[in-house]
Structure 1
């Protein structure tokens, strides 16, 4: 079985389309060939809605352990069976309005379908609901934090 060869110029052209259109991925399928180009856009902090306090501009520096030690010390939350991930790119909010208590807190018991948080995308606030009943054991984000598709938001056990 021979390897499929792709035209480097076609890949460069697709990458340029991504940059020109601000898209993050593009896929070209033709017969038995498939070419997918993905880029990671620079992190951009969206301004919070009116009345919402902005998240701190910069976090304090954090010491990072070597990769092997870090892998042993911190389990990968993306593989946790109770992880709730973001279904979209946007800005996360833990409460319904500024000054209101959060939808859930660590230790809270939730039922399937209960609103856990909001994600603002394209000026629309989308409710993120509990996929199952359980107890919230970790909240992995903060209000005003930008989130990506598939990013872990919280854990329900």
Structure 2
């Protein structure tokens, strides 16, 4: 009976769950002293396909099947890349320049060195520099400035 366990603040758990919903994050974890709380939600590929299923009922039915057809292929196509793509290491918002109005970190055709910053991903109010995993030439930038990105999503292609 000598061990004291901290009480779980259900309001905090609800706030964390609300943050997940508002930001489209899949997981959030905090620590306060000896208390660690992790709130996560499962997001799977079938849920995206199910979300696309009601679209054929809309008046733009011919466009919906065309959009729905590539979606099942897209998750399979991303891992099939040659390894020259730089995947997002986290969920967040991608920024192509260090500050609004300044020059971008990289441009298509630019040569980069291993470790050079390619872009920044903001996650939980923290700016995370994304370094180049290899030296090479930027052949494609797959995200736009201020675009939300998912874990594993290809960001840049380096040849």
TM-score surpassing 0.5? Answer: yes
Cα distance, 1:119 vs. partner?
A: 0.2
Q: Higher helix share goes to which structure?
A: 2
With over 3 angstroms needed to count, the CA separation of the structure-2 counterparts of 1:145 and 1:66, relative to structure 1, is: closer
- TM normalised by structure 2 equals 0.56
- Distance in 2, matches of 1:82 and 1:62, equals 31
- Please list every run of 5 or more consecutive structure 2 residues that lacks an aligned counterpart in the other structure: 1-15, 28-39, 48-62
Q: Which has the higher contact order (CA 8 A, sep 6+)?
A: 1
Stretches (4+) displaced over 6 A: none
The C-alpha deviation readout for 1:37-57, integer Å capped at 9, x for no partner, is 962299xxxxxxxxxxxxxxx
Count of residues paired in the alignment: 106
Name the Cα RMSD after superposition.
3.4
- Distance in 2, matches of 1:116 and 1:94, equals 7
Which residue of 2 is the match for residue 132 of structure 1? 134
With over 3 angstroms needed to count, the CA separation of the structure-2 counterparts of 1:95 and 1:62, relative to structure 1, is: farther
- Please list every run of 5 or more consecutive structure 1 residues that lacks an aligned counterpart in the other structure: 1-19, 26-36, 43-60
